[in-house]
Amino acid sequence: MKKILLTLLFISIAFGGLIAQTENSKEKSNPIKFSGFVDFYYLYDFNQPFTNDRAPFAFAYQRHNELNINLGLIKAAYDDGKVFANIALQTGTYARDNYAAEPAELRNIAEANVGINLTDKLTFDAGVFPSHIGVESAINQGCYNLTRSLMADGSPYFETGARLNYNFAPKWNFSALVLNGWQNIYDNNDNKALGSQLTFAPKENITLNYSTFYGNEMPKGSPALMRFFQDFYIQYTDLFPNFSATVVFDHMLQQNLTGGNDEVFTFSGLFYYQFENTGIGARVEHYNDPTGVVNSTGTPNGFQVTSGSLNFDWNVKENVMWRFEGKSYNSLDAILFTSNPLNPSKTGAFVATSLSIAF
């Protein structure tokens, strides 16, 4: 991975310099842009889990009592007005945990996609790209909170497929997707999944989103069990001066082997107050997966967890953020790791800090 990142960095410098030399005027724009992100963190779980992987349901900021990189990313983006493309390579514990099911040669791919502007309102792109589901992303500087929610870790961060995007009205946007599956690059069966996303922005500071996923996630050779997932959120920035809020609700139905459906639902409220160079974020959420469709526990009540967090942020510079967070869990069953693998707990809490830079 180190060699890959160094190679991409060398190419970006060399190619950027070549383009700069061939420009005929200052007005000529460069269609290639480079960016990067590094997120260093430390997390301490008060349950002192028997393994440094603090929880099987967490896929970001996963390591306990360890100085580590959650995400290191370097990206090249191309856009000449007609054709656009992105390639981003990654490393860190986020990449390790979220891409564990992928072949080794694919685990460092965060993005790899190419697209065409068919008209000024219609675009088509294909490849590996960020998920159309959810309001949180892997890059913490774009989120209200340092760590990710239970629902973010329980739904796709990335997906592979083709997407048609139509901005059919000034305040409306619709996307239709054909995907390899729930969260994968390497397909685990011969079926393709379908996705959709509809966004409406009635005002500059209000966004309403409805996303869906429909597909079979069972391995090849197993009976097909269709999954239907819905994600709905309302995001309100500057609800009143310097205060923003987002409410998210997810719902899933998946067929089971008895001919019925298993049901999962989750709710999250995210809040943020911005001061001049600091900010305070909070989150409350509940995840209800009683039959273990997403998070299998082997316990009578499955994965039914309520969580709350509070974070303080310091914007050291415009692109540098230092964050501190405390988070607690309360589970209906004893499923949270402790120092004794035979004696899990119903409650848990941790503190975490992250220093990140975007460039």
pLDDT at residue 77 is higher than 70: yes
Q: Is 309 exposed, middle or buried (0-12, 13-18, 19+ CB in 10 A)?
A: buried
Domain ranges of the chain: 116-358
What's the first-to-final CA gap in the chain, in angstroms? 20
Give which of 156, 199, 188, 192 is closest to 177, Cα–Cα: 192
Residue 190: per-residue pLDDT: 87
What pLDDT digit, counting tens, does each position of 164-204 carry? Answer: 999 999 999 999 999 999 999 999 898 999 999 999 999 99
Residue 50: per-residue pLDDT: 96
Residues 282/315, Cβ–Cβ less than 8 Å: no
What pLDDT digit, counting tens, does each position of 269-327 carry? Answer: 999 999 999 999 999 999 999 999 999 999 999 999 999 999 999 999 999 999 999 99
Range 116-358: architecture per CATH: Beta Barrel (2.40)
Give which of 192, 211, 189 is closest to 200, Cα–Cα: 211
- Residue 252 tokens read as 């899933």
pLDDT at residue 23 is higher than 70: no
Q: Rounded to whole angstroms, how far apart are CA atoms 261 and 15? A: 53
